[in-house]
Structure 1
């Protein structure tokens, strides 16, 4: 067994020998918080090549502790390092914390017009936790910073910014933007409320299902600005409205919906809502619902959807403890269950092969 420290192994992510790079990769995947800390240090003090590899590895591990350090890469002198940092932040958008979002928002006024400013703007729009720092930035003493924040919030059209825009109405630099954004947000709210009110009034099983699908088609074009409102409607008393909200959230595939959809899957008394929740979670591809998917496999109306969702999880590593289960399900009588179990088992076998190759490499100089 190797006696190298995790710091040494991290440095070997860019080693010229394949087996050393693979061993380093395996060590990072299995290394937990110590590996994350070593990778963050590599972002700060490593060579450009190591910074790029460390950023890619942190994106794979998806530990939010790395967020601020990755934001720091956006100011690196090496263009490839900046792009690696941006790519990692985009891949981790759903798990990045408020501190990371605040660091990214604080960076925006320092960026001159050009590709990097557009990139930072794109990243802020992709990170759900960026809304609060942008709202705080509306209070900045510099009118240019206020306008920057207001413009970003106008693009995001997130209902969480309503109070901040109301407070900003007295600031001359952003008053017009605030008025326009509040009108747009009100129009979005009214359209969604009206659509769901109409849906509640439909009677008859077949008519209601048809109406649900029509409502989803009608509202889907709103996209991300509807997410926070749709999350509210997941708690509606009408099961058909909850189904429509879950369906829309899955098709929009915003990570803000993961935990509310998990709650529906775990607690809702309506099987149809559970089905739409599990389908929606599968489309998002987040690993957090894994235990709920596993619990749903024995439940006949949900088992196919559970297997499909498991097969779509992007972080395959979280499925490794359940490999025996997937191996058994490869011969399940339900063809779709067997097919998806085979997909998962094949991915796990491929991952194990890569890691074993790294661990079995000859450690001699």
Structure 2
């Protein structure tokens, strides 16, 4: 160890600062322990999770973001039950950074928690750990009264990518809360079943554009071209964000029949959409679309110009 830490013999000497009579001194000690990046610092930072000062406890929860493993997870779960909302919020963020599947051992026993803030954080923490044992509690959490919990539950189910969870995700795609429907639609991307595709196609008619946008993007993940007619209809959506995702998906699916409908969309006053249209026209390489691309070879937006010139090069090849 070099630099700042050369003056200390070991982590235990840094940890002595946790006994400083001032909360400011203890906060600095937590920060120094975190800066060491030494796993041996974890138990000391975990001790600070129970400090009498909320500021120290919050800093400890933040500091644990840089560490992983069961001990880190256990300390963060403890912090979720702190009386101070700021400490809970910091712990919730740090939980999402866990990557070691073994960290789930400290989270799984609490997935029956009914407090919506705590449960949402626990689900967010275990999502990327892909623990199969979480699927049952996550499906149950889809019935929770809190939309925030249901969104996180969809995330857990989606990451596990179990075909047996498909009915639950399809139900979630009809949730009363748009954010839950959007998350469920995105999660359905792992499945190539006809039932999943049917749900995604239905979502293209959702009253909320964020759900339609998610559906337009997710449909291409199956690689199935049967949804092309529905995506062609989505090119007329009233929201350009939905149109953009539909254009991108049609490009991924190699839907050359879409080219002559995408071409005129180059005239729309949204640079991001023109950029995407140009890229997809290049991918589809339909000769008749040259006229639409040439018109924007000197577009005011540099990204549009770049994609247009790339597309023209593809068509000329």
TM-score (norm 2): 0.45
Greater Rg, structure 1 or structure 2?
2
TM-score (norm 1): 0.40
Instruction: Tell me: higher relative CO, structure 1 or 2? Use CA pairs within 8 A at least 6 residues apart.
Output: 1
